[in-house]
Amino acid sequence: MTKSSVQPANIPGGVPRESLPRHIAIIMDGNGRWAQRRGLPRIEGHRHGVASVRRTTEEAARLGIDQLTLYCLSSENWKRPQAELDFLMHLLEQYLIEERSTLLEENIRLEIIGSREGIPDAVLAAMDKTVEMTSHNSGMTLCLAINYGSRAEITNSVRQIAEQVRSGQLAPAEITEELLAANLYTAGMPDPDLLIRTAGELRVSNFLLWQISYSELWITEQCWPEFAEADLHEAIRDFAQRDRRFGGLNT
């Protein structure tokens, strides 16, 4: 099955295929708050958040979305308590291993963006193995942003281009937006059409700053462990009704 052969069924609210977002990105926020409101340890929010990742991924693939990008761990999250970080790393490794069969069955290709620095070797090995195993899948791309920070990503892109200029491979006049984008972690990926953020926060938190220049934003008060298929459908319906002009005018 290829992307072009996907025939999505039951698109929410009768949204026509051509009005679906090609790429959805999600800032998965509110795991800790969800747990604390229930008198549970914060780590229980992260555990329940994995179930939301699973159902959102499967539903996005069923609907025929080309790419789903999930903000799993920011480069700023290392400031959290070590016990919570250790649990997050364990949960991530477990997810990467346990989801392999589902990714293969659903024809989903896994990609990882972000820095590898500081991530335990066992987690890196699980990441690399799952990416390799799904590399020939032709369905939806699931992109996990792990140890990701957009400012660092853009800085690294500029540094790579500067090295090309210094070595004489590139003239300053040849630096374009397309060249900078080609040196980002997301090179070759479409920019997100729709950015979803859970838990009601009204900020983008250093996530895909270059790539979301013209993304439509959709915010829900639902914390990530509560995010369900109905919420994804609502976001897609809202997106489909928007007038996207990209700085121009529709005639």
Provide the annotated active-site residues.
Answer: 29, 77
- The three-point CA angle 115-119-122 to 5° equals 130
- The strand ranges marked E within 122-173 are 141-148
Could you tell me if 191 and 207 are in contact, meaning their C-beta atoms sit under 8 angstroms apart? Answer: no
**CA distances, 96 to each of 12, 78, 201 (Å):** 29, 20, 28
> What type of residue is 184?
L
Pairing verdict, β 194-197 and 23-27 = parallel
Residue 134, helix vs strand vs coil:
coil
Phi, psi of 112 (to 5 degrees): -125, 135
Task: Give backbone dihedrals phi and psi of 32, rounded to 5 degrees, phi first.
Answer: -65, -45
**Do 195 and 21 contact (CB within 8 A), yes or no?**
no
Q: How far apart are CA 156 and CA 149, in angstroms?
A: 11
